[in-house]
Every structure is written in C-alpha cells, then in structure tokens.
Structure 1
C-alpha cells in the first residue's frame, strides 16, 4: 500500500457520504459508522415541495382584493394628480394594497391604495 492509497480511500468515503446524504439519507451501515449524525431529520423536512405547499396555503387564506387595478389607478390619479406609470398588487400586514407609481411634473411619486373596500 502506498501513501496515496489511504487518502484515496478516505476521499472515496467522503464522496459516498455526501452523495448518500443528497440522495435521501444514509444507509443503515453508514448511519452506524458515523453515529446518529446522519440520522437527522433534515432531509425529511427539506425541499421545495413542503415550503411551496405552505406558501400556497398561506396565500389562499389571505383576504382577496375586491378593487380592480384600474380602479386603484383612477383613485390615485384623482387624489394625487399625475399620470399612472405602474400598478402592482402587494400584500402587507394590514392586507392587500396596490402600489401605484405616478408621474407628476417630472417627479415620480409612489402611493398606496387599499385593495379592499
């Protein structure tokens, strides 16, 4: 055995552990070999699927806007004056609102319009 063979063996073991962890968790042999460190439930709860499902459920439970973007633009323009550049629906702690950008006299003004009556 040369001096580079133990290093190669160690590197192969490191790669095997990383690949196994990425593919869904350890085999029983690897879990026993490294103690309980590889049995952590991180791989079970990780991933985009659960986070996406949580965000979808959270989004579905929020109040829906009942003011159309065009109506929000008309309200902002009527109240503050200027030409409407952009209308974006945002979700704030107080509920949904529209962020309306107005151009008036060469200056851009951003106003918020409630998205619910």
Structure 2
C-alpha cells in the first residue's frame, strides 16, 4: 500500500470548469484506520469537505462544497493513490456530481505549501 495521506496537502494539476476546484484549491488530507477525510478551499470553493474510506491504493469518498457564488454541490469520487518518483503522492480521480449532471477525471498532487 502507498504511504498514508495523513497530513498531506494536495492541489489540482490543472483547472476544472468554473465553479469547481482549480489550481488555487488546496486539500488538507487526514487518514486513520482506513478512514479518509479532508477540508478544502481556494479558487471558486469557499469551503469543502470530503469523507470516505481507503482500501489499498483506492480511496472512495463523497464530497460537498460551498462556492463563492453561494451555491452548494456534492458528488462521489474514486481516487487511485500513486507514489511519484520524487516521493510525492498523486491522486488520479474519477468523479461524478450527485447534486447536478456532470462527471470527469482529474489529478491532484502533493504540494508543500499549507492548505488555507
């Protein structure tokens, strides 16, 4: 199993559509005994939370967020944990909104600057 996500900060490697997470969004991850959760903010996201589970290199979670325009959104995501050659961690994500139509893929990578 790849190393723990606990205490790691992640950022998207590219911007998504407006109203979604972007390169200015930071995710502060926590992990304990197969449970995974995170807080996130930045860009179009005022505040977001995710909660789920991890089994091996797969993380399965639900997310909910408040955006700068005052709307909320929620969805489901499955991520694959990959350790990069430089020792950082990448999450390759497949997600789907549950509060509205839409789905896609994204990549977040470990960064050294702290989450907001």
Higher helix share: 1
Give the greater-gyration-radius structure (CA): 1
Between Structure 1 and Structure 2, which shows a larger proportion of strand residues? 2
**TM-score, scaled to structure 1:** 0.29
Relative CO higher for 1 or 2, CA cutoff 8 Å, sep ≥ 6?
2
